[in-house]
Amino acid sequence: RMAVGCLLELSFKVAAGEIKNGFAIIRPPGHHAEESTAMGFCFFNSVAISAKLLQQKLSVGRIL
C-alpha cells in the first residue's frame, strides 16, 4: 500500500504541474508471486492503479 501511495502522490504532482518529472523507486507488482499464488508484499499493480486514477480524477487521456 505504501508503494501505491507513493506512486499516486508522485503521479498526481507531475500531472498537476507541481513538479516537472519524477522517478518512483518501488518494486514491481507480484515480484514475490508464484505462478498461481500471491506471495510477499506485492498484491497491487501500482502502475495500473495510478494510471486508472489519473484517468478518473484528472481526466488524463494518454499515459506513457
Residues marked as catalytic: 32
One DSSP character per residue, 11-51 reads HHHHHTTSSS------PPTTTT--SS---TT--S-HHHHHH
The answer to whether 30 touches 38, Cβ cutoff 8 Å, is yes
